Chain A
Amino acid sequence: MELETDVVSHASGSARLRLANTDILVGVKTEIDIPKPDKPDSGKIEFFVDCSANATPEFEGRGGEQLANSISNMMQKAYHSAEAFNLKQLCIFEGKQCWKLYIDILILECGGNLCDAVSLAVKAALFNTRIPFVKAALMDGGNIDLQLSDDPFDSKLLDVGTAPLLVTLCKIGDKCVVDPSAEEENCSVISLIVGVTGNKRHYYPNHTDKQCTESKCTTIGMNGPGSVVSKTLKDAIKQGIVAAKSLDEALGQALLKERQQNIGMKKHSYGFLK
């Protein structure tokens, strides 16, 4: 696994991830929006997946649309719960203004296990997303004028410790395979996708809150034409959670190391599609 953050200059946060033969670029754009009337104190988050025809010729035209839809759907579901990602941190002014995060996921190369890679890359991108501080707000009748600081370093980071990771388990024969390659995906008739919340400890080393150390399922979905016995399903979910935990830990370490390098200006970039 190869991970690099802050690769796109125009995005508030970005990450590039290479997992075996899968290459994913994620950019986070922030914009100001009006919150939903039934959730006045939370921001918005939206996922877009673009399967470029570069990845495989199958994505040409509208070919990748279905896959893109299912991935963005899965991500949206996984990030739905406040346990996974608290949208309240995106609130600027209750009921009036909030941040909206546009998460654009670009699939540059497709080598299996897309869901997992996408979720890893998204978490990494969110981890280094900077949201500018609001300096002042002027109330002008019903309208609000915001003044943001111009200094790009005068910004806050998001709390993404609990952001979920997706784990795909492919059932091949009687066993479930974690992190399947494209070939393995072709072999299996059914796969299970489990979204599991992360652990804050891996991302914020000085975080001491013990409450949220437990991993929880935020979404479960099945994919493929087959079906499974319920016991296999239960076992697979358990297996997925274990896998997600270790994945989460690894991602946390990588991100922290990267940040350290960034601060010390010692970072060397890999470039795309190396």
Chain B
Amino acid sequence: MDKEIGKICIPGMRLSLSNKEFISGPGTYELKGYIYATLAGILKMEEDEKTKATIISVESPRTPSVLPKAGDIVTAKVTVVNSRLVQCMILCVGSSILVRPYKGVLKKEDIKSTDKDRIDPYKCFRPGDVILARVLPMTEIHWYHLSTAENELGVVIAVAEGSPQGISMVPISWSEMQCPKTLVKEPRKVARVIPENINQTMFKDSKESNKESIDVK
């Protein structure tokens, strides 16, 4: 059984020495020169390409009960847009889905890195958009401050006004998206989704399913 699924860890288990060769990763902690597990799950050892060190982490079969922390990339859904800020619900951290949604707020000046004083939130987001954002250090209780001031961050999925649900717009520039169905153009702070980040199989799947849906029609 062990060979099939790898080494099983439980909280408090001493995993290895902590030094230049072994670095503690997610699901572990360091204490007095050793790395211990904090979750029940499978041991993972990955080599970091830059430092040649082994990152030791524990992967839990279910999403760990952790919250977004500063520096994480999160997926969030926009709920409220006003002239000063954008409110949203954080749905995912990295690749793990959160069980409870947490509140996030994106201030006007954190939307773009350029032209900070001329940003209009209404021209960047609409309620219902799904965005990628980076978590800023926490300064307020119960609200996570987010930032989209990077090329890779911003709107990923958005539906144009009047378009049928399920048809999302396609980016046509840094600041515009177009609906493939109605050809309506709308302003958005578009995220440049990096191809490497996309799961290749997922990508293929969605293509195929798209084809399929067209075929059915």
A–B: direct contact at CB < 8 Å: no
